[in-house]
Amino acid sequence: MILGINTSQNTHELALIDRDKILNERAWQDEKDNETRLAALIKEMLEESGIDKKEITDIVVISGPASFAALRTGVAFANTFASALSANLHHMDTFELLKRKAALNEPTLTILNAGGHDIGLRSYEDNKASEIKVAAMADLLAEFPHDAYKVISEVTDVQSSQLTSICLEKNWQEIQGHELQTLAEMLVTFGLEGLEKTDMVEEKYLKDPKITKSKNKWKN
């Protein structure tokens, strides 16, 4: 039994999978209440499916990059829950998540918001992933040739408009959100393929998160 946890995208997701069957799934927009919502939703999903939490053998969590607060909560919950259940813990990054959700074999560009005017970019050629690059969108995409790529993104509205213009100019196909699989569908398609077990997952960020320290010295 696999439990999937994704708080790396604007739409957060939970998935409960038994081999090639989706038992239950949930999706919601981030409302800064993930700490309480995750436990409540998982309990609800298990009860609806008639499953005991001890039947969960594997937990897959998306490790980022993503915004700080939501990602930290999802990863921390996965680490704690896996430890409590003695379940196998696995992770994948958000670039790989988008690639798998699109289920593409063609050359692909995966793009994430990196804050400000910057994006994070990873390209896939023959299903081999490049190193992640972070810079302004126009600068990063200029080096890639016309007519060659499909593009998947999780970016701001402003960045999305700019990306659409570049895709039209380059004659790239931009994959829309409704064309992507859900977390549950992706896990049924790929299972644990290519994922390694780990004792603890660490969050990944494109830039160092900006954390404001409390003026209370006892909280620092």
- Asked if domains 2-93+181-207 and 104-179 share a fold, the reply is yes
Do the Cβ atoms of 182 and 159 come closer than 8 Å?
Answer: no
Percent of the chain's residues with pLDDT above 70: 95
Longest CA–CA span in the chain (Å) reads: 57
Q: Which CATH superfamily is domain 2-93+181-207 in?
A: ATPase, nucleotide binding domain (3.30.420.40)
Tens-level pLDDT at each residue, the chain (220 residues): 999 999 999 999 999 999 889 999 999 997 777 778 999 999 999 999 999 999 999 999 999 999 888 999 999 999 999 999 999 999 999 999 999 999 999 999 999 999 988 999 999 998 899 999 999 999 999 999 999 999 999 999 999 999 999 999 999 999 999 999 999 999 999 999 999 899 999 999 998 765 444 454 444 4
Residue 133: count other Cβ atoms within 10 Å of its Cβ.
16
For residue 80, the model assigns a pLDDT of: 97
30-59: per-residue pLDDT in tens? 777 777 899 999 999 999 999 999 999 999
Helix or strand (DSSP H, E) at 128: strand 128-129
CA distance 58 to 47: 18
CATH 3.30.420.260 fits 104-179, yes or no: yes
Domain segments of the chain: what residues? 2-93+181-207, 104-179
Residue 121: count other Cβ atoms within 10 Å of its Cβ.
24
Q: What is the 3-state secondary structure (H, E, C) of 137-185?
A: HHHHHCCCCCCCCEEEEECCHHHHHHHHHHHHHHCCEECCHHHCCCHHH
